[in-house]
Amino acid sequence: MKIHITAEAESDLVDGFWFYESQAPHLGSYFRSCLISDIDSLVFYAGTHEIAFGFHRALSKRFPFAIYYQMK
């Protein structure tokens, strides 16, 4: 399985990193690690998530973020 992260999604991850880093030291790194783990879990769980706006939507386990994806 190939996972492609769009430029817009990458920008959201960077913005999220800096937002959480400004809240507490190292929280941005924890945010990034958690989201990468959530994205990596798609290898096992892709296609099991509800569909919203025409995409599958996986919710992050620890942060109020959603991962929208489609399977090809």
Mean pLDDT of 12-28: 98
Contact 56, 46 (CB under 8 A): yes
Count of structural domains, the chain: 1
User: Does any domain span residue 14?
Assistant: yes
Q: Is 47's pLDDT higher than 90?
A: yes
Q: Is 1's pLDDT higher than 90?
A: no
Mean pLDDT of 48-59: 97
User: Does any domain span residue 1?
Assistant: no
Domain of residue 20: give its range. Answer: 7-69
User: Does any domain span residue 29?
Assistant: yes
User: Does any domain span residue 35?
Assistant: yes
Can you spell out the DSSP letters for the chain?
------HHHHHHHHHHHHHHHHHSTTHHHHHHHHHHHHHHTHHHHTT-SPEETTEEEEEPSSSS-EEEE---
User: Does any domain span residue 2?
Assistant: no
**Mean pLDDT, rounded, of the chain:** 96
Q: Is 18's pLDDT higher than 90?
A: yes
The pLDDT-based confidence of 72 (bands split at 50, 70, 90) is confident
